Amino acid sequence: MRVNDNFAFSELKHDGDVLYDDEFSLFLIQVKSDSDLGALLNNHPTEFYRQHVQDILGDETDVRATVIRTNAEIPANPRHTSQIVATQPGNSKTVTAIQYKYEKDMVG
């Protein structure tokens, strides 16, 4: 879902057979890095999820988050950032994000 010119997200769903139903969820999040939302996602990811992608956290208040930042050779202030975010509910909801940044303008 494209929210505005600086931010879009979508839930990624499987379309094949699975061994069992699971509450595991996967999302693609894309932001323009130099926007206010990009700064929030970079500096305070769980707050970003609470405010802008409530599907990720739902009603959970006890959340642990880990962000793995890749592509370290790109400057610290890239133009665009994409994240794959996985959630697994439990006693404390766990959110794991893999962040990839782009130096060139990816939006056409």
Categorize the per-residue pLDDT at 76 as very low, low, confident or very high, splitting at 50, 70 and 90: low
Categorize the per-residue pLDDT at 62 as very low, low, confident or very high, splitting at 50, 70 and 90: confident
Domain containing 40: what range? 6-11+23-102
Task: Output the DSSP codes for 24-64.
Answer: -EEEEEEEETTSHHHHHHHH-HHHHHHHH-HHHHTT--SEE
Q: Is the pLDDT of residue 42 over 80?
A: yes
Asked whether 49 and 76 are in contact (CB, 8 A), the reply is: no
Would residue 1 count as lying in a domain?
A: no
Would residue 107 count as lying in a domain?
A: no
Would residue 31 count as lying in a domain?
A: yes
**Total count of domains within the chain:** 1
Average pLDDT value over all residues in the chain: 80
pTM of the model: 0.77
Could you read off the pLDDT of 8-34 as tens digits, one per residue? Answer: 888 888 777 778 777 778 889 998 888
Phi, psi at 68, each rounded to 5°: -105, 115
Categorize the per-residue pLDDT at 65 as very low, low, confident or very high, splitting at 50, 70 and 90: confident
Q: How far apart are CA 97 and CA 34, in angstroms?
A: 19
pLDDT given at position 28: 92
Q: Which residues have CB under 8 Å from 80's CB, separation 6+? A: 30, 31, 32, 33, 101, 102, 105, 106, 107
Would residue 17 count as lying in a domain?
A: no
DSSP state of 22: -
